[in-house]
Each structure stands twice: as C-alpha cells, then as structure tokens.
Structure 1
Amino acid sequence: MKGITEEYATYGSLFLVDEEHYVELCRYLNKVIFKKADFFLREGECCEYLGFLKSGLMRSFYDKDINVNFHLENSLITDYDSILFGVKSRISIKAIEDSEVFLLHKDHLQNLYDKDVYWQEFGRRIAEAVYLHAKRRIEGLLCISPEQRYHQLLLENPKILQLIPQKHIAGYLGIQPQSLSRIRKRLLNR
C-alpha cells in the first residue's frame, strides 16, 4: 500500500482525484510520450482523449499562429467541445518539447461516470476547470490591454517566456510580433 500512497502523492493532484479513487482511474490511463512537434490532436480530427500532462510543454492553436493556450506540466489537455459532442476539432494541440501525457479515452471516462456519483463529480471538476480557463482567457482578451496580458503571463508563467518562440507568445496575446517587441522594450525601460 505504501507504493500506491507514494505514487498518489506524485500524481494524484494531476488527475483531480482523491486517493481512494486513484487506483481505479489508473486502470484506464495510458502513458504516452509525445516528442517535440508531435500532435496530440490535429484540426479536423475528433478528440478522443482527456490528456493529463505530467511533464513537458504543449500548445493549443488555430491555424498556425493563433495560440489558444500553452499547457505546462500538471495540466489538462483536450478539446472538450469535441469530446462532449463528437464534433471535429477546430484546434490543434502540439508538443513544444518532449511531453509525458496520461491519456483517458472518452469511452473510459463515460464508463467511470456510469459507475457512481464520485466520477460524475470528477467530470464536473474537469468541466469547471475548462470553463474557468476559457472565461479567464476571454476576459483577458476583451478587458485588458496587450501589455497587461503580457505582464500577467510573465507573472503567472515565466517558464513559458523562456521556452516558447516570441511569435507564438504574440499570437497568444492577440498581437503582432512587432507589437510584442515594443511591449517588452517598454517594460525593460521602466
């Protein structure tokens, strides 16, 4: 039992489960290594998995440069709309660096939902996390300036700024790379 407790201490918070349900969830998970530039999901595919990013870095994007999100270790990756409704994804999710991901197939997720109320609450926690991220993202784009968005990104995720090309950061902020250069220069001169 000690092995499970240590393993849970390492992975439990990643999966949003309590220790009692951890072993049950692990039966359904597959660990996959995505090499740099591998796709978790391509635009036009139906998303089949919830991904729990243990280590590495990935990005969600439209076209090539409209970045929706950067996924750091210990985060959830998926196109939840595609999972819920079985529609083709409009986004792609790609590894920026080698990434270790635990995959939960949507059918296994449904099996868990059917087992008991705990797993339905688990699904609610996932849906809430996806919703809150989307809400914050939309509010950021609509209510604060690009400079404030950059400053917020700098405070919340300084690692991203070291690992991601400036063109992707600019796309995430909703600005051109030249505008990002001006913002960075202004902040350095303060």
Structure 2
Amino acid sequence: MKSITEEYLTNGSLFLVDEEHYAELRGYLKKVMFKKASFFLRKGEYCRYLGFLKSGVMRSFYYQSNGKEINVNFYHENGLVTDYDSILSGGQSEINIKAVEDSEMFLLDREHLQSLYHKDPYWQEFGRKITETAYLQAKKRIEGLLCLSPERRYHQLLEENPKILQLLPQKHIASYLGIQPESLSRIRRRIQGR
C-alpha cells in the first residue's frame, strides 16, 4: 500500500512518477513545513529548490521602491512553487515567496534535479513537464492581465482559488488583480448586488 506522500507524488495533478522511478525521487525529496508568514524565498537569495506544495497556500510578490508589495502569484495544493528564473539562470531572485498559511512542501534541490537528468531520459521528461507547467502558469497570468477585465480576473480567482479570498487582506487581492483596493470593493459590491 502506498503512503499518503507516495499517493500525492504519483497521482498529483502536477506530474506523474511511475513506481519504478518513485523510490529514486523520494530519496532526493525533503519534506518541509512552513509556518504562516515564513519565507520560502527572499529577494536577493538564490533559489535552490523546486517546491511541490502538498498543503497550504503561498504567494509570490515584489517590493516596489516605496515598500508596497505587488503580488505575482498564489500557489495552492499540488502547485509548483519556485522562482524558475533563478533556478535556470543560477542568479539571485527578484521575488519573495511567503506562506499565507501553514504549508507543507516537498523540496527538490536543483543539484539533485541535475543529477537525475544525467541518470535517465525519464528524468529529462520529468524536467520538461516541470518547465511546461511553469511556462503555462506564466502565460496564463500574463494573458489574464492583458486580456481580461479586472472583474473577469476576480471571477477567475474565485473559481480557481476561493480560499485565497478568505486568507489575504483586500490589498493583496487587489494587487494580484492589478487594481486598487477601492476598485476591488466596487467589483465586490456589483457582484453582491446581482
């Protein structure tokens, strides 16, 4: 019988790992708990890990020069959490990633991922799936900001991650949607008035 961890990794929506390769991957994974408000990554650090979020919620954000936070992404169960730019380039991160609530993740060190790539073509396919996932997330986010109205972006957030609306203050939701908190209040009033 598979453990919960094994079930997650082999049946999770992020990727599939067959039985033959699971034991090898498991040897490289590190299970870590992040308390609410603790950082997975801070601006200026080097991102060393791919994080597979088993439970909880995290957010990525930038600091503007005035100290204001601009939210880039929210991550929830089965999500890939990383600064993929820093992973690929080996450079310092420009973003911060922080736990919104207590969260559990499995971390895969980028060096271990590289060694898996050299062992077996199976792991190159695994890496390709991770890259595709990161690309599709970024593309969807950019297209949402460019092509959807703020109200449609809010509806999309409601559909995909309603829990976020209960966990974060309105200023963080508005920042993620690319609008001011006052505009978010108007959108919410319009929706409630229907």
TM-score, scaled to structure 2:
0.92
Read off the aligned partner of 2:175 and give its amino acid letter: G
Aligned equivalents of 1:87, 1:32: Cα separation in 2: 23
Indicate the residue corresponding to 1:135 in structure 2.
Answer: 139
3-state DSSP of counterpart to 2:57:
strand
Going from structure 1 to structure 2, the CA distance change for 1:7 and 1:86 (only over 3 Å counts) comes to closer
Mark the runs of 5 or more structure 1 residues left unpaired by the alignment. Answer: none
Read off the aligned partner of 1:82 and give its amino acid letter: S
Question: Deviations 1:107-127 (Å, cap 9, x if unpaired)?
Answer: 000000001110000000000
Indicate the residue corresponding to 1:11 in structure 2.
Answer: 9
**Shift in Å, 1:13:** 3.3
Aligned equivalents of 1:9, 1:122: Cα separation in 2: 17
Which stretch of the first structure deviates more once superposed, 68-77 or 118-127?
68-77
Q: How does 1:33-182 map to 2 (within 5 A)?
A: 33-63=33-63, 64-182=68-186
Aligned equivalents of 1:157, 1:77: Cα separation in 2: 15
Mark the runs of 5 or more structure 2 residues left unpaired by the alignment. Answer: none
Give structure 1 regions of 4+ aligned residues with deviation exceeding 3 angstroms.
none
Question: Deviations 1:64-109 (Å, cap 9, x if unpaired)?
Answer: 5211111111111000010011111110000111111111100000
The answer on whether the counterparts of 1:65 and 1:167 sit within 8 Å (CA) in structure 2 is no
- What number of residue pairs does the alignment pair up? 188
3-state DSSP of counterpart to 1:90:
coil
Which stretch of the first structure deviates more once superposed, 11-20 or 146-155?
11-20
**Shift in Å, 1:12:** 1.9
The answer on whether the counterparts of 2:8 and 2:54 sit within 8 Å (CA) in structure 1 is no
**Shift in Å, 1:11:** 3.1
Which stretch of the first structure deviates more once superposed, 154-163 or 115-124?
154-163
Aligned equivalents of 1:117, 1:11: Cα separation in 2: 19
The answer on whether the counterparts of 1:8 and 1:19 sit within 8 Å (CA) in structure 2 is no
Aligned equivalents of 2:10, 2:20: Cα separation in 1: 10
Aligned equivalents of 1:69, 1:133: Cα separation in 2: 9
Aligned equivalents of 1:118, 1:66: Cα separation in 2: 38
Structure (1/2) with the larger helix percentage: 1
**Shift in Å, 1:21:** 1.4
Correspondence for 1:186 among 183, 187, 190: 190
